[in-house]
Amino acid sequence: MKKLIIMSFLILGTMLALSCSNQDILTEAPPDENNLGDVNHSVNGETLQAELNFLEIKTIAYNRFTVALSRGYDTDLTGYVPNMGHHFANMDLVDGIFDLDKPETLLYVPDTEGNMQFVGVEYLILREALEDPNTPPEGFTGSEDDWEIVGPFWTLHVWIALDNPDGIFAHENPNVPAESPAG
């Protein structure tokens, strides 16, 4: 029963967040995602959709780029990458652990005025920290998450804030411009 109540609040929160205009999101104080409960109690054993809903709620504050910067996502690992955007990492989170509610990287695309728009997250798992560095880490429920090796990392993109016709876990997103809109 407790799981049902928590999931109901998560779904309600997602619906409320999606019903807000962008102006509402940008002018209101960011939600305190620390009061949403422990991920192990909220979605453990639940569906992929429940995990994605949870991630969406946990990351909604990052619609404000200043919030991301204030929470340590201040290292642009890549500059602008076509069909991906900028990858802003919180280097304190980079380790060998998949933590659903603590992605190592946030993905942003600048608008024509240079304002950063949140489009998704990327998980970076150090391969050397895994028992078998050649096997992708356990991530989301099921087998839809598509991990890729990039340098010393297993990486996983999740297009949580921008629709991707190629799938939520696709490496690239054709809805992200090939060239930076900021010029």
Q: How far is CA 86 from the centre of its chain?
A: 13
Determine, yes or no, domain membership for 165.
Answer: no
pTM of the model: 0.76
Residue 46 contacts by C-beta under 8 Å, 6 or more apart in sequence?
3, 7, 141
Determine, yes or no, domain membership for 181.
Answer: no
Determine, yes or no, domain membership for 31.
Answer: yes
- Number of domains within the chain: 1
Would you say 112 and 94 are in contact if contact means Cβ atoms under 8 Å apart?
A: no
Residue 145 belongs to domain spanning: 2-158
Please report the pLDDT score of residue 183 as a whole number.
80
Determine, yes or no, domain membership for 83.
Answer: yes
Determine, yes or no, domain membership for 172.
Answer: no
Distances (CA, A) of 146 to 17, 23, 110, 118, 123: 27, 33, 26, 21, 11
Determine, yes or no, domain membership for 134.
Answer: yes
Determine, yes or no, domain membership for 73.
Answer: yes
Residue 98 contacts by C-beta under 8 Å, 6 or more apart in sequence?
123, 125, 137, 138, 139
Please report the pLDDT score of residue 46 as a whole number.
64
How far is it, in rounded angstroms, from Cα 33 to Cα 129? 28
What is the pLDDT tens value at each position of the chain, 183 positions in all?
A: 333 323 332 332 333 233 333 333 333 344 444 444 444 434 444 699 999 999 999 999 999 999 999 999 999 999 999 999 999 999 999 998 999 999 999 999 999 999 999 999 999 999 999 899 999 999 999 999 999 999 999 999 999 999 999 999 999 999 999 999 988
Determine, yes or no, domain membership for 37.
Answer: yes
